[in-house]
C-alpha cells in the first residue's frame, strides 16, 4: 500500500509540475483552480435527493419548488466559490536567511484585481493556515511562516490557497509553486 501511495504522489507531483510550473508570480485561472463539495455540500445533495423522491411520491408541487430552488442555490454557490479565486494574482516576496530550527518568514503579495476576495486560507498541508480577505484594487501583503528542520537550501512545497466562501458547500483550492528559496 505504501508503494502505491508513493507512486501516486510521484505521478501527482509530475502532473502538477506540467500543469502549473514554478514561477515567482501566478495568476489563478481555469487550469489552476480545483473545486469539490464539502461534507455540508454532500449532505445538502443527499437532502435534495430525498426531497425529490418525496415530491415525486406525493406529487407535491411545493416540495418540487423547494427542491429546485435549493438546487439552483447550490449551483450558483459553486460558481461563486470558483469566482472567489479566479483572476487573483499571487507574487512571492523576499525571504531572509534563518538558522536551522527557526521559522522562515515567507512574504507574499496578493492582488484581487477588480473584485474583492473573501475568506481566503493560505498555508501548507502540515501547518496552520492563515485566513484573510483582500479588497478590490488594493494589493495585500501576507507573511507565512514555515518551520525549518535542516541546514542548507529549503524549497517549500506547494502553497495551498483555498476558499469555502460563500456558504461552505464547496471548497475551491489551488496548489501554487511560487519558487521560494530559503537559506
- Kindly report whether the global pTM for this prediction surpasses the value 0.75: yes
Sheet arrangement for strand 89-95: 25-27, 89-95, 103-111, 140-147
Cα(40)–Cα(51) distance, integer angstroms: 16
What is the per-residue pLDDT across 31-71, written as a single tens digit (0 to 9) for each? 889 999 999 999 999 999 999 999 999 999 999 999 999 99
Q: Could you read off the pLDDT of 83-112 as tens digits, one per residue? A: 999 999 999 887 888 898 888 888 899 999
Neighbours of 18 (CB within 10 A): 8
Closest CA to 88 of 134, 124, 48, 19: 134
Amino acid at each position: 500500500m505504501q508503494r502505491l501511495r508513493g507512486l501516486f504522489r510521484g505521478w501527482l507531483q509530475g502532473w502538477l509540475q506540467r500543469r502549473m510550473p514554478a514561477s515567482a508570480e501566478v495568476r489563478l485561472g481555469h487550469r489552476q483552480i480545483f473545486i469539490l463539495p464539502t461534507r455540508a455540500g454532500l449532505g445538502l445533495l443527499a437532502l435534495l435527493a430525498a426531497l425529490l423522491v418525496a415530491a415525486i411520491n406525493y406529487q407535491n408541487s411545493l416540495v418540487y419548488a423547494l427542491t429546485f430552488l435549493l438546487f439552483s442555490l447550490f449551483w450558483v454557490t459553486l460558481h461563486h466559490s470558483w469566482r472567489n479565486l479566479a483572476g487573483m494574482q499571487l507574487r512571492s516576496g523576499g525571504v531572509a536567511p534563518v538558522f536551522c530550527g527557526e521559522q522562515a518568514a515567507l512574504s507574499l503579495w496578493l492582488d484581487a484585481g477588480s473584485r474583492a476576495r473573501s475568506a481566503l486560507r493560505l498555508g501548507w498541508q502540515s501547518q496552520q493556515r492563515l485566513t484573510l480577505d483582500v479588497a478590490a484594487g488594493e494589493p495585500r501583503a501576507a507573511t507565512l511562516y514555515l518551520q525549518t528542520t535542516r541546514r542548507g537550501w529549503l524549497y517549500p512545497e506547494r502553497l495551498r490557497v483555498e476558499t469555502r466562501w460563500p456558504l461552505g458547500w464547496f471548497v475551491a483550492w489551488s496548489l501554487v509553486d511560487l519558487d521560494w528559496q530559503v537559506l
